[in-house]
Amino acid sequence: MNNGRGSVFPLVLDQVCFSPKGFPIVDRVSLAIDAGVRTVILGANGAGKSVLMRLMHGLLLPTSGRITWCGRDQRAEAQAMVFQRPVLLRTSALRNVAYGLKLAGMPRAERMKRALDALKRVGLSHLSQRPARVLSSGEQQRLALARAWTLEPRILFLDEPTASLDPTAARDVEEVIREIGATGCKIVMTTHNLGQARRLAEEIIFLHRGRVMEYTPANVFFHAPRSAEADAFIKGELP
Amino acid sequence: METFSDSLSTAFRLIWSADPELADIVLLSLRVSLTAVFFAAFLGLPLGAALAVGRFPGRQAIIVVLNGFMGLPPVVVGLLVYLLLSRAGPLGEHGLLFTPSAMVIAQTVLITPIIAALSRQTIEDAWREYEEQLRSLGASAGRAALTLLWDTRFSLVIALLAGFGRAAAEVGAVLIVGGNIAGVTRVMTTTIALETSKGDLALALALGFILVGLIVAVNAAAQLTRQWALRHYG
């Protein structure tokens, strides 16, 4: 499905602001995100991480500024997003995964086969016929990951994907995220969990009150943060 | 004049023996009201979904009117449909007045706003939960509306049921457009009204029991379905 869709990178944000009712939630953000490494958007609660991600994904429109995909204003189609709380339909796990492919117009037989493949990859094939909404939260989140994965996105956004999970389930989800990244899909993820950022991040975008304070490789960020805010966040002084 | 207990025992005997006149009346009632629910669902569910998901000018006004129309007085609906179908009316040439079809039309008009308004509320609540995910997956508004109609199917049963309850229990509209003609347009509610005024309480009581029993049974079935669905589908 990736073939022939052209390049989507770099994803460039140019002076992007989001300020409904005049209050800036995302403030003059300029970034160029390229394929490859796993990017983690880090920051305290209320720093604007989720809003920034929704702007990138196209669920929100910037109040001002510009977002381009490989130089084009048009929103790239080859992207997917996984939310903090998975939103699953009242049907089987398998049909939930196939739903995204159905929207993309894929014939039934093929989408069922691909959905089952995706379920296998996240370790849920034995639950394929179970109603999705009665699975455990960890299984539901892996199901949401399978649904995103089966679309073969070039970039996958994850908004606090483990925030409502227990540590074991969170590790399972992190493992799947790693595997998706290993297939060449760009990972962009928000978290306020430092441990998770250390485990998964290859580069860090650090947000503070809607502004990007740092955009650096992860090892630089954790060992020699440039801003006082990032330093305080790493030391656990920021809320 | 029979005593109350005489009426009561006659009523039970009528029910127990499946009296043919009684059965015809009950079956016509069911046929008219269920057909009305069918057409009202056909109109009301898409309308409710469109209002829940769509964003267009006049949407808020339509919702206000629809909510208000949930309380339409049946006699007024009966009168309007009577005017439409009467010989001099715009649809008079079809000769539908005083037929079961006229009763179906009147009840459909009566309960379409109920089904549309209740389904709008149900689907809009679901849309609030699903909107970002469905938009992220690339669903158009129309596609999202279809998905939500299916996903909330067990809750929408309640909307259909409210419509059925209203249709089966109303007397004003079917009386005006049906005319309460024995063997042709006589349904449970109109028969109860007529027989009571004639003093034949047995038939009225028997029909009353059946009507209440039916509505309780249908509600119980819907409640059980919903509980099962909640356990099974979450």
Q: Which residue of A has its CA nearest to B127?
A: A87
How does pLDDT run across A154-212, given as a tens digit for each residue? 999 999 999 999 999 999 999 999 999 999 999 999 998 999 999 999 999 999 999 99
Burial of residue B197 (number of CB atoms within 10 Å: 0-12, 13-18, 19+): exposed
Using CA of residue B141, residue B143, residue B146, residue B151, what is the dihedral sign? negative
| Type of residue found at B80 | L
Given A87, A91, A132, which is nearest B133 (Cβ)?
A87
| Token reading at B136 | 């992220």
**Range 144-173 of B in CB contact (< 8 A) with A:** 147, 150-151, 153-154
- Does residue B216 lie within any of the structural domains? no
Number of domains in chain B: 1
Q: What is the DSSP letter of A157?
A: E
Q: Does residue A73 or residue A101 have the better pLDDT?
A: A101
- Whether A133 and chain B come into contact, CB under 8 Å, resolves to yes
Looking at the complex, report in whole angstroms how far the Cα of residue B163 sits from the nearest Cα belonging to chain A: 24
Question: Residue B39 — φ and ψ, nearest 5°?
Answer: -70, -40
How does pLDDT run across B17-73, given as a tens digit for each residue? 999 999 999 999 999 999 999 999 999 999 999 999 999 999 999 999 999 999 999
- Does residue B29 lie within any of the structural domains? yes
Q: Which residues of B touch A89 (CB under 8 A)?
A: 147, 150-151
**Residue B143 neighbours by CB under 8 Å, 6+ apart:** A103, B134
Q: What is the pLDDT of residue A102?
A: 96
- Does residue B62 lie within any of the structural domains? yes
The Cα-based distances of B198 to A153, B192, B202 in angstroms read 75, 10, 11
Q: Are A22 and A51 in contact (CB under 8 A)?
A: no
Contact across the interface for A90 and B147, Cβ inside 8 Å: no
- Does residue B200 lie within any of the structural domains? no
- Does residue B227 lie within any of the structural domains? no
**Model confidence, pTM:** 0.90
3-class state of residue A26 by DSSP: strand
Task: Kindly report the CATH number assigned to the domain that includes residue B119.
Answer: 1.10.3720.10
- Does residue B38 lie within any of the structural domains? yes
- Whether B133 and chain A come into contact, CB under 8 Å, resolves to yes
Mean of per-residue pLDDT scores for chain B: 94
Mean of per-residue pLDDT scores for chain A: 94
The C-alpha atoms of residue A53 and residue A44 are separated, in whole angstroms, by 15
How does pLDDT run across A194-208, given as a tens digit for each residue? 999 999 999 999 999
Please check the confidence at residue A3 and state whether its pLDDT lies above 50: no
3-class state of residue B40 by DSSP: helix
Contact across the interface for A131 and B234, Cβ inside 8 Å: yes
Q: What is the 3-state secondary structure (H, E, C) of B147-214?
A: HHHHHCHHHHHHHHHHHHHHHHHCCHHHHHHHCCCCCCCCCHHHHHHHHHHHCCHHHHHHHHHHHHHH
Looking at the complex, report in whole angstroms how far the Cα of residue B129 sits from the nearest Cα belonging to chain A: 7
Bridge partners of A157?
A81, A188
Q: What is the ipTM of this complex?
A: 0.92
> Whole domain around residue B181: which residue ranges?
17-185
- Does residue B2 lie within any of the structural domains? no
Contact across the interface for A134 and B234, Cβ inside 8 Å: yes
Average pLDDT estimate for A214-226: 95
Looking at the complex, report in whole angstroms how far the Cα of residue B60 sits from the nearest Cα belonging to chain A: 22
- Does residue B107 lie within any of the structural domains? yes
Bridge partners of A204?
A40, A216
Q: What is the pLDDT of residue A7?
A: 82
Q: Which residues of B touch A74 (CB under 8 A)?
A: none
Q: What is the pLDDT of residue B2?
A: 58
